[in-house]
Amino acid sequence: MEMLLNMGPQHPSTHGVFRMVLWVDGEKIVDMEPHIGYLHRGSEKLCEGEQYHQVITLFDRMDYIANFNNELVYCMAVEKLMGLQVPERAEYVRVILCELNRIASHLLFVATMGLDAGAMTPSMFCFRGRERVQGLFEAVSGARMMHNYLRVGGLKEDLPDNFSEMVTDLIPLLREDIEESDKLLTFNEIFLARLKDVGAISVEDALDYGLTGPCLRACGLDYDLRKQEPYSVYDRFEFDVPVGLDGDSWDRHYVRVQEMYESLRIVEQAVAQMPGGSVTSSLGRRLIRPPAGEIYVRAENPRGEIGVYLVSDGTDRPYRVKVRPPSFCNLSAIRTMVQGAWVADAVVILGSLDIVLGEVDR
């Protein structure tokens, strides 16, 4: 029974408004065609009409699961263009918030991975952990998502007084949440059967498709920008980069789970080492006009390597902002992964790539 099966954009497991047109033979997938663009808002073009500080809000809305990481990479780009020195305290706060955001993002991944495979309890445990992180973010920035907290040259304002205690209180709770969902899901017999050897991709193919982040590390390549090309103050912390072996869906899941533990280690060290002082640069809150020129900055987001190409013409608005979104590049490999798989696998493979449509479509 060969037929075209249209999956999405309104389907519970397409993680937003992604659309797959599957050519299926019974339950087997012969071919698939991905369709994107249902969430296209023209973010890159919009950036050109905003002042440099206003662009931060637009970056919040690209990868809306990892807001701080997105804000950070944009701010780094502008700072590098201006040759601006960021106060040390601000760097530490950025790292703490980014790593917590990475944990929140990966928790959401584990939750949806479980749901895609049909297990609903881990999602509840994960969401509880994510809720705790968001509570902290709200205390810091006033918003649970779309924080708009980072600024070019530092932060919007200093942290709440009891921030260190809040974070140190949060870490054991968060570790408990991660362990709980991890124990319930990762080595579950059925979960292993569903994910192992599903959607496997070789290192060579992964590099050809431009996969980055956990999807690439799952193939066994030890490539993490925080280690390879340390930005911010990442070179001061001790952490390991988890890698997989086979590059299949289960390895992608496992790498992310392990990354959460590593992120916790980074947060612990960062809180212990956090210096005092100002969190804003010498620039203060003045309107910024970077010198004319162009810059490309990249950073390790929860989903992979995000790159920002920024062109300035010396005015108060960027001339051009181009983003290399990790989700978009990771998604490009889905066609080869899905061919020959089962219909149920398509859902799992898409889930294991962990895309955010806000970033794919921009």
Partner 1 sequence: MSAPLVPIAVGVTGILWDTLALVVLFAALSTVVLSLVWLERKVLGRLQRRLGPTRTGPMGLLQPLADSLKLIIKEDILPASAEKSMFWLAPVIVVVPAFMIWVTIPAAQNAVVKNLDLGLLYITAFSVVGILGLVMAGWGSANKYAALGGLRAAAQLISYEIPVIMVVIGVAMLAQSLDLREIVGRQQPVPFVVLQPLGLVIFFIAGLAEVGRTPFDIYFAESEIVGGPFVEYSGAHWSVFFLAEYINTFAIAALTVLLFLGGWSGPLLSGAWAIVWFLLKVYAVILVIFWIRGTFPRLRVDQLMAFAWKVMAPMSFFVVVITAVYQFYNWPAWSLTLMSCAGLLVVAFLIYRRLSGPAKRVAQVKARQMALNQRRRAAAALAASGDQAAANVE
- In the complex, what is the shortest distance from the CB of residue 4 to partner 1, in angstroms, rounded to a whole number? 8
Burial letters 325-342, b for 16+ CB under 10 A, else e:
bbbbbbbbbbeebbeebb
Q: Which is nearer to partner 1, 241 or 295 (CB)?
A: 241
Tokens of 238: 């001790």
Tokens standing for residue 66: 């990892």
Q: Among 63, 41, 192, which residue's Cα sits nearest to residue 119?
A: 192
Closest CA to 45 of 313, 288, 297, 320: 320
Compute CA 358 distance to the chain's CA centroid, rounded to the nearest angstrom: 12
- State the nearest-atom distance from the C-beta of 24 to partner 1, in Å: 8
| Cβ distance to partner 1 smaller for residue 188 or 332 | 188
In order of 293, 304, 311, the CA distances from 320 in angstroms are 11, 23, 5
Residue closer to partner 1 by CB (options 79, 251) is 251
Distances (CA, A) of 209 to 62, 98, 242, 337, 338: 21, 26, 21, 11, 14
To partner 1, the closest distance from the beta carbon of 117 in angstroms equals 4
* 171: DSSP letter: H
Q: Rounded to the nearest 10 degrees, what angle do helices 121-141 and 163-185 cross at?
A: 170
Identify the CA nearest to 143 among candidates 77, 86, 61, 74.
Answer: 61
Which residues contact partner 1 (rule: CB under 8 A)? Answer: 1, 3, 5-6, 11-13, 26-27, 114-121, 124-125, 128, 184-185, 187-194, 196, 220, 222, 227, 240-246, 250-251, 254, 342-345, 347
Kindly state the smallest distance separating residue 176's Cβ from partner 1, in Å: 12
Closest approach of partner 1 to the CB of residue 205, in Å: 20
Pick the closer one to partner 1 by CB: 246 or 268: 246
Least distance in Å: CB of 3 to partner 1?
A: 6
| Pick 57 or 188: Cβ nearer partner 1 | 188
**Cβ-contact 304, 278 below 8 angstroms:** no
Examine residue 214 and say whether the peptide bond preceding it is cis (omega within 30 degrees of 0).
no
Phi first, then psi: give them for residue 53, nearest 5 degrees: -75, -25
| Residue 115, C-beta contacts closer than 8 angstroms, at least 6 positions apart | 13, 123
The residue to which tokens 């905003």 are assigned: 50
Angstrom CA distances, 306 to 56, 92, 176, 235, 321, stand at 15, 20, 30, 19, 13
| C-beta closer to partner 1: residue 16 or 220 | 220
Taking the complex as a whole, the smallest distance from the CB of residue 133 to partner 1 amounts, in Å, to 17
Output 146 or 190, the one with its CB closest to partner 1: 190
Question: CA-based Rg of the chain, rounded to a whole angstrom?
Answer: 20
Q: Work out how close the CB of 249 gets to partner 1 at its nearest, in angstroms, rounded to a whole number.
A: 12
Of 14 and 101, the one with the shorter C-beta distance to partner 1 is 14
- State in angstroms the smallest separation of the CB of 293 from partner 1: 32
- Cβ proximity to partner 1, 244 vs 358, nearer residue: 244
